[in-house]
A = this chain, B = another copy of it.
Amino acid sequence: MLESATRMQRIAPFYVMDLLAKARQIEASGRTVIHMEIGEPDFATPQPIIDAGINALNAGQTHYTPALGLPALRAAIAGYYHSHYSTVVEPANVIVTPGSSGALQLAITVLVNPGDEVLLTDPGYPCNKHFVQLAGGVAKFINLSQDNNYALSLAAVKAQWTDKTKVIMLASPANPTGMTIQQEVLQAIADFARSKNAFLIVDEIYQGLEYGARLKTLAGQFDNVFVINSFSKFFCMTGWRVGWLVSPSAFVNDIDKLAQNIFLAAPTLAQHAALQAFEAASLAILEGYRQAFQARRDYLYNALQELGFGLSEKPAGAFYIYANSEHFSADSYQFCFDLLEQAGVAITPGKDFSQTHPEKFVRFAYTREIPQLEEGIARLKSFISAE
């Protein structure tokens, strides 16, 4: 018998992919589907960034860059930390990666030994546990509660900490909850991890998509903190595949040799285009997008609350609402399928984000315009009423 590696049995697919396949069938049959499952902005990449891509192509920028990224882009990212966060990050600590996926893989691979424990949140981004597993690490979960607005505390971290804990991974704003973590809490966790000779990886890829107070960053301030970011979400550059990692100085050489071996480099064209992302013309467009996301959030949050979904406080970031669907179904995965089949509305089941209570939750993404969200809510309302 030809057998794949045993790890493959422990790697879950994105369950939403099953829903997407079903959605394509429905659409092929001529019915419409309202897509509220999609984890990427519907907005186009801002035109100045696209123009920069075209200019780079016309200039023949098609060869490899250094493994750590174009020096000019590393400097531009450092400059963004200075201008937008008033934080000093050295270009030498900025590593340009193929999407934040690349950054996650680099950070985890450089830190996690087989058998090391890595603390993650439940609910959380589904890929993290797989990156941990690929490095031979053991994912352990800190359960966050909707009743408590998915707040994370140092006490909760300490409660899960063992002698084997090497890394804790957190996201702010977080997928799927849209919640943010207070800077003081993050700093306290970083300090605690430091006292244990352990590391904090902070996923800041939804930063910029904030609807209240501007978030701060942990980049450049701790010798045990890695910050992950990306041009995908706030900058609307998903398909370009370019993100970044801010690493403490002591690990840059290791990351360099790892990046040389596993990626060679991030896409050249995307790096040249991303240089334009921090310019005023792009940022002005992105601010318009941010305001549109905020209006969608406000609409969707109120609508879901009226329908009877269990909600946390209004999420302060990202473009997701994680909702308790127990009132309508004891099995959120089945609920998602029935909703799609009977009403043509696609949302993501909790199974993609949680080990603890997947059956109680669903994720709505507001990555569609309000008229579409309204149609989705109307369909959802009929579906629920008919149940």
- Given the interface pairs A62-B45, A113-B6, the reply to whether A14 lies near B260 with Cβ below 8 Å is yes
In the complex, A234 has a CB within 8 A of chain B: no
CB distance from A11 to the nearest CB of B (A): 6
Q: Contact between B224 and A264 (Cβ–Cβ < 8 Å)?
A: no
Give the chain B neighbours of A269 by CB distance below 8 A: 53, 239-240, 267, 269-270
In the complex, A223 has a CB within 8 A of chain B: yes
Residues of chain A from 1 to 41 with CB closer than 8 A to chain B in the complex? 1-8, 11-14, 17, 40
Give the chain B neighbours of A99 by CB distance below 8 A: 263-264
Query: Which residue of chain B has the shortest Cβ distance to A224 in the bound complex?
Result: B2
In the complex, A262 has a CB within 8 A of chain B: yes
Q: Contact between B268 and A240 (Cβ–Cβ < 8 Å)?
A: yes
Q: Contact between B262 and A110 (Cβ–Cβ < 8 Å)?
A: no
CA distance A254 to B7 in the complex (A): 10
In the complex, A57 has a CB within 8 A of chain B: yes
Q: Contact between A98 and B268 (Cβ–Cβ < 8 Å)?
A: no
Interface size class on chain A is: 35 or more
CB distance from A19 to the nearest CB of B (A): 14
CA distance A137 to B92 in the complex (A): 32
In the complex, A213 has a CB within 8 A of chain B: no
- Given the interface pairs A50-B62, A238-B63, A241-B241, the reply to whether A5 lies near B109 with Cβ below 8 Å is yes
Query: Which residue of chain B has the shortest Cβ distance to A42 in the bound complex?
Result: B63
CA distance A40 to B254 in the complex (A): 24
CA distance A7 to B137 in the complex (A): 13
Q: Contact between B256 and A268 (Cβ–Cβ < 8 Å)?
A: no
Give the chain B neighbours of A54 by CB distance below 8 A: 54, 57-58
Give the chain B neighbours of A187 by CB distance below 8 A: none
In the complex, A130 has a CB within 8 A of chain B: yes
The residue among A131, A134, A253 with the most chain B CB atoms within 10 A of its own CB is A134
- Given the interface pairs A1-B197, A4-B111, the reply to whether A64 lies near B268 with Cβ below 8 Å is no
In the complex, A250 has a CB within 8 A of chain B: yes
Query: Which residue of chain B has the shortest Cβ distance to A3 in the bound complex?
Result: B197
**Cβ 8 A contact of A101, one of B12, B240, B263:** B263
Q: Contact between B266 and A64 (Cβ–Cβ < 8 Å)?
A: no
Q: Contact between B241 and A267 (Cβ–Cβ < 8 Å)?
A: yes
Q: Contact between A62 and B236 (Cβ–Cβ < 8 Å)?
A: yes
Q: Contact between B62 and A238 (Cβ–Cβ < 8 Å)?
A: yes
Q: Contact between B239 and A5 (Cβ–Cβ < 8 Å)?
A: no
Enumerate chain A interface residues (CB-CB to B < 8 A). 1-8, 11-14, 17, 40, 44-45, 50, 53-54, 57-58, 60-65, 98-99, 101, 105, 109-114, 116, 126-127, 130-131, 134-136, 194, 197, 199, 223-224, 236-241, 248, 250-251, 253-254, 256-258, 260-270
A and B contact pairs by CB, cutoff 8 A, 30 listed: A2-B194, A2-B197, A2-B223, A2-B248, A4-B254, A5-B110, A5-B135, A7-B109, A8-B254, A11-B254, A13-B257, A40-B64, A45-B60, A50-B60, A54-B54, A54-B57, A54-B58, A63-B239, A64-B238, A64-B239, A98-B267, A127-B262, A130-B261, A131-B261, A136-B136, A239-B265, A239-B268, A240-B269, A267-B267, A269-B270
